[in-house]
Structure 1
Amino acid sequence: MKRWNPRRILAVILAGWCLAACASLPAVDPDKTKEAAAAVPVVKSVNGTLPESRAKALLSKRWAKNTLDLKAQAALEEAATGVPLIAGNQARLLFDGPQTMAEMMKAIEGAKNHINFETYIFDQDEMGDRFADLLIAKQKAGVTVNVIYDSVGTLLTPQSFFDRMRAAGIHMIAYNPVNPAKVRGNGWKVNNRDHRKMLIVDGRIGFTGGINISDTYSKSSPFRSKSRPRSEKDVGWRDTHVRIEGPAVQAMQWLFIQHWTGQDADDLRDADYFPTPVIAGDKLMRVLGSEPGGRYEIYKAMLLAIQEAKKSIHITCAYFVPDEQTLQALIGAAKRGVDVRIVLPSVSDSGMVFHAGRAFYDRLLEAGVQIYELKLAVLHAKTMVIDGVWSTVGSANIDRRSFQHNAEVNVIILGGAFGKEMEIAFREDVKNSNQVTLTRWRDRPLLDRMKEFASKVWDYWL
């Protein structure tokens, strides 16, 4: 049974009020981008920008024949996004709610100076209360706590829940208030939402990905589970987060501070937000934070990677309603022999998005794209791994709401070691999914076709 998400429905209604015409995403031409790309991309480390020779050495390792050229891809992304690579990081994949929440709470408990937290959904339930109580305890212990929460994502959360945290001294902002009377100086932009999920502790540990604060994450999905639950009631949502240490955390910190000041908010309390960075590992990454109507950094990076793929494109996506350019890029990759596989939901918290995404299945399947639908668990992860060496984890879905109207955060991590972990996770999701074949798909019920047609009419606003 497909669920209908009241937050999504409200966003559609508000979008209809606020938009007179549909804005468009930028054209992404890899050939033109190559003309603007530098020979060697900028790579920053704890000691500043690396010399070209050192940056080239990091990116010029020999990969298997016909796989993505990381140096060239990194230069393309930099030309398109203007965001440099950052060396010297540690990145650890986290799966589902219990594991991720345990790691985030452990980091919060260890905080000595400050905690910056940004989320779309912050529910008042058992999980939300535990998280709020921990933040309150750290604030009372002298740690500076700052929280940004989205006003649509928390529409169903009682105001008293946030008032309790404010009363304890936590500094809080409701992003782009639904109530225009609460807007402070930057205009009523209710269609623009903060869909980011970021936790930054002491400027040294960062978390990002798809996980919100809600009881939907109190249980694990069947992912890597020894037992196989039999119904939806026994499983939690399937999601992916990443824990980061190293200088890339400073880039996440800047994104948080820019968002805070962009809301015409009070000044952040004094804290050591940018401690001296240290080398934490060998991961090379790019931190992309997009803004509504901005430079579309995440969209451009994803599209370029898809267009340049040589061997494989493996996507796990919660809300998949691609624009025509992304659709053509996936179809084009499949037709040139790239192994394009996508894991999508079979159970969704948003029925309209679910059916709008399915409206694209026929064209994708006909071109040779393999589609799988995850069984039992609600899929909420947003990940992609290309040629086994280019990976991204974050909050952005493959839909126009994410790319045009939401503030999002994705990290791109280059290299085969992390890519291998991503591939293992992808294969696990495929194992827990049913494959959709073209023959079976074209035999689907008329009612499903009608739902797809009706939902696709609204796909821009979903």
Structure 2
Amino acid sequence: MHDSAVIAWLLFLAQASVQLVFIMRALLRPHREPSSRFAWVLVIAVAPVIGVLAYVLFGEVNLGRKRVERLRAAFGALPAAEAVAGPSAQAEIPERFGPLFRVGYSVNNYLPVGGNQARLLPDSAAAIAAMVADIDAARHSVHVLFYIWLTDESGRQVVEALKRAAARGVVCRAMADDLGSRTLIRSAHWRDMAASGVRLAVALPVGNPLLRPLKGRIDMRNHRKIVVIDNAVTYCGSQNCADAAFAVKPAFAPWVDVMARFEGPVVRQNQHLFASSWMAETNEDLGALFADPLPAAGPGFVAQVIGSGAGVRYSAMPETFIAMMSAARRELVITTPYYVPDEPIQAALCASARRGVATTIVFPRRNDSWIVAAASRSYYRDLLEAGVEIREYVGGLLHAKTLTLDGEMTLIGSANIDRRSFELNAENNILLHDAAFTRAVRARQQLFLDAGTPVSMAHVDAYSRWRRLWNNAIAMLGPVL
């Protein structure tokens, strides 16, 4: 046998061995759906070099061992999650909604607590104005965490408010995700905040992109949007610290978000969630924040923080969504910009409509992710056949992540109904039971519905064969993407 033939056989055996190793890894990884295992095995087998490289970069939900240890150590050093907001308000929850809060409790051990109040902000500019006003009125502490924080008008307003607060002696801590907020973090505004006394931290630093896969996936991000002021006020919703014009993607503007301002015991839970992220990235212990006694509980509704992420229980957000879909009796309305569900969520949404619940979901007509847009539309036929009403919002990029249930329950926050949000991102949401606030959210959802174009079976039937092929092919790769 010629030397060249021997070398060729050795290279073939080496390649086959590497493929086999990564196929076994794909098959042995825990918390993975069979469809995901099959997709990865297929990619590695059909395209060995590209497939193995893709698996190294994106094949495993790996936050990094040291980072997970720091996150768990942070939760361990903080007061127990059950205790931070006072006793449970279980007795005030209607029996049929109790299981929803039990699912929420299983994620972070935050109890449903009563005595909360909330106000839905009219729009993005009003939300920023309210945050700035609260920061300007702060007396003790201001904590801010955003996935995307731009240097536009809204971003600079918050920067200046933090600088003013720090100058008058308020302890200000600001955290931003290293990938989503890279422009701000590398700008003079970030340095100015530090010089003004604002304590800064970068969430999930990227570092050297070439070495990053050795420490965890580069696309695992802190997607949370949390503002906590004086342990008394918090904000929760879909809005990043940016103008609705969203300068980084102006072609899809305006970004249409929903943000709410909360007061009451649930604020302490958001504070606890912020503290865990802060302590995982810094050496500062924030346990003293929870030493102050809780104020006497006043009138208000029951609420609970749900903070998901790779360092928390697997499948937390999918189970939350499925539980709410399954609990609906009369009406279920959802708004989400990104819809790439797993099979149980698609089945739960279809089942909701089939049992007679008025089930509606609203997507943006134009999506900033062409991959998600294609994948989402591959699910339209099954949803429509089940009786789900689909609308596509045409007034900009509908970025609001809301769910209302039977006019009584609301879920609001940062989580999308897609695999990235479920498996890769750290998210924050608030689940609450209150007819008045739910009416306000439902009214906002109705504005999105009214500004949306109904999607009918005729629309889906009109898709060309190539468009259907494209949509379904992208959706098939969902477990890999």
Following the alignment from structure 1 to structure 2, what is the Cα–Cα distance between the partners of residues 45 and 179? 34
- 2:293 paired residue number: 276
User: In 1, Cα distance between the equivalents of 2:152 and 2:348?
Assistant: 41
1:98 paired to 2:125: yes
Contact 1:298–1:410 under 8 Å retained in 2: no
For the residue of structure 1 that corresponds to 2:453, the secondary structure is strand
Mapping of residues 30-429 of structure 1, within 5 Å: 48-49=86-87, 55-56=90-91, 58-60=92-94, 69-75=96-102, 77-78=104-105, 82-157=109-184, 159-160=186-187, 161-180=189-208, 187-216=215-244, 236-263=254-281, 265-267=282-284, 272=289, 275-278=292-295, 279-292=297-310, 294-295=312-313, 296-429=315-448
Contact 1:45 1:87 in 2 (8 A): no
2:443 is paired with a residue whose SS is: helix
Point out the more displaced range, 119-128 or 14-23. 14-23
Alpha-carbon distance between aligned partners in 1 of 2:373 and 2:412, rounded to the nearest angstrom: 21
Equivalence for 1:7: none
> CA 1:445 to 1:274, structure 2 compared with 1: closer, same or farther past 3 Å?
farther
- The alpha-carbon distance between structure 1 residues 127 and 331, as it changes in their structure 2 partners (threshold 3 A), is same
Contact 1:204 1:275 in 2 (8 A): no
Instruction: Single out whichever of 94-103 and 432-441 deviates more from structure 2.
Output: 94-103
> Against the structure 1 CA distance between its residues 22 and 127, is the aligned structure 2 distance closer, same or farther, given a 3 Å change threshold?
closer
- Which AA in structure 1 matches 2:293? T
Q: Displacement, 1:419?
A: 2.0
Q: State the distance in 2 between where 1:380 and 1:268 align.
A: 34
CA 1:181–1:325 in 2, change beyond 3 Å: closer, same or farther?
A: closer
**Match in the other structure for 1:4:** none
d(CA) in 1 for partners of 2:270 and 2:476?
A: 36
Contact 2:100 2:320 in 1 (8 A): no
Retained in 2: the 8 A contact 1:148–1:173? yes
Change (3 A) 1:134 1:17: farther
Deviations 1:267-298 (A, max 9, x none): 15897565433335411001111121521433
Tell me, what secondary structure is at the counterpart of 2:398?
A: coil
1:398: how far off? 0.3
TM-score by structure 2 length? 0.77
Seen in structure 2, the aligned counterparts of structure 1 residues 403 and 387 have a Cα distance that, compared at 3 Å, is same
1:115, 1:240 → 2: CA distance?
21
Is the 8 Å Cα contact of residues 117 and 148 (structure 1) preserved in structure 2?
yes
CA contact (8 A) 1:96 1:237 kept: no
Whichever of the two has the greater Rg, that structure is: 2
Task: Describe the shift of the 1:136–1:369 C-alpha distance in structure 2 as closer, same or farther (beyond 3 A).
Answer: same
Secondary structure, in 3 states, of the residue corresponding to 2:256? Answer: coil
C-alpha distance in structure 1 between counterparts of 2:100 and 2:365, whole Å: 33
| 1:167 Cα deviation after fit | 2.4
Amino acid at match of 2:179: V
- C-alpha RMSD of matched pairs (Å): 3.1
